Chain A
Amino acid sequence: MAARILAVDDSPSMRQMVSIALTGAGYQVEQASDGVEALAIAQKSRFDLVITDVNMPNMDGITLVRELRGKPNYKFVPLLVLTTEATAERKQQGKAAGATGWLVKPFNPERLLATIAKVLA
């Protein structure tokens, strides 16, 4: 059965690009437009991986990662951050919140898929 991935980004086009790249590789993808929506979706159904942007309204990606890590269902689920931000400080914040990895936009579909395959293995 294909892994289920939750893609979180406030930009519809970014969600679409992530979704296209992942569904093309056989993953099942659901989308959320911010951390609050993602948290609600993630609580209703379990995902094998979450990939989230950082700067979003209502709840940012770092907070989302922290919130998910606090939940038993997501304690060991890979949580990837996909953002335009690349400073060491922000990466450290992501790591401290419990992120599995940090990817900088614009993403290369092959590298994204390779990373996802690696963290899902």
Chain B
Amino acid sequence: MNTVIQRSLSAAPDLEVSVQAAAVLLSLAMRDTEHPVADLGQALSRMVTTVTALRKHAHGASSSSSNGMPVELESELSLCIQSLQFHDRLIQQLAAVRNLLASLASHGTLDVAGFGAQRWEELLRILRERLSADQHHQLFDLLMRTGAVDNDGAVDNELRGELLPAEGSVELF
């Protein structure tokens, strides 16, 4: 598939083909990770089952001597569970980028040669409206440098600062 895309690109290296190819490549790359990540999750699940059984066994043998292994393993497994969630986030972000590229490619009437600033802003507004999640809006702003995000890195840091403290937070109503 990649060879076909590369051949198409060399034959007709216009913006529309490039954008479509980028969207397809993203889809393929995302699909490629599905099985390995599912396998990883299943392996993790088996490890949790084993650790749970070890914990029960240790409790049965002696309430105080489990030589620390299950506790240490639980900590490592917890880290795996937390870290693996970033793959899910990456996939969501890549899906948002792919959708943006697909929107761009399907727009059809893009006049790249006469692409004025006003037209560009209009296009960005249309694309941004197609995204529903806050995170995708923020990602879009970061990628496309729109809205509150300008070319000054300080603004990026400010945005990241706004996003990161919320990660892992818990609020009971």
Closest to A55 in B: B133
Q: Which residues of B contact A43 (CB under 8 A)?
A: none
Could you tell me the dominant secondary structure of chain B's interface residues? helix
Inter-chain contact A17/B78, CB cutoff 8 Å: no
Determine which of A11, A13, A55, A118 lies in contact with B172 in the assembled complex, contact meaning CB atoms within 8 Å. Answer: A118
Instruction: Give residues of chain B (31-53) contacting chain A, Cβ–Cβ below 8 Å.
Output: 37-38, 41-42, 44-45, 48-49, 51-52
**Which residue in B42, B51, B78, B84 is a CB contact (below 8 Å) of A108?**
B78
> How many of chain A's residues touch chain B, expressed as a range?
35 or more
Please, how many residues of chain B have a CB less than 8 angstroms from a CB on the other chain? 37
The CA-CA distance from A20 to B44 in the complex, in Å, is 8
Interchain CA distance A101-B167 in the complex, whole Å:
15
Q: Quick one: CB contact mask for A95-110 with B, threshold 8 Å, 1 for yes? A: 1000111111111111
B111 within 8 A of A: no
Cβ-defined contact, B41 with A84, below 8 A: no
Residues of A within 8 A of B77 (CB): 20, 24
Residue of B whose beta carbon sits closest to that of A107 = B168
- The interface residues of chain B lying within 8 Å CB-to-CB of A14 are 85, 88
Chain A: CB-nearest residue to B173: A95
Q: Beyond the given A20-B77, A55-B132, A86-B166, could you list 17 further A-B residue pairs with CB under 8 A, ordered by the A residue number? A: A13-B41, A16-B38, A16-B41, A16-B42, A16-B45, A17-B84, A20-B44, A20-B81, A24-B52, A24-B74, A26-B52, A100-B173, A103-B169, A105-B89, A107-B85, A109-B82, A111-B168
Ordered by A's residue number, 6 sampled pairs between the chains whose C-beta atoms are within 8 Å are A13-B41, A20-B41, A91-B171, A100-B173, A103-B171, A115-B170
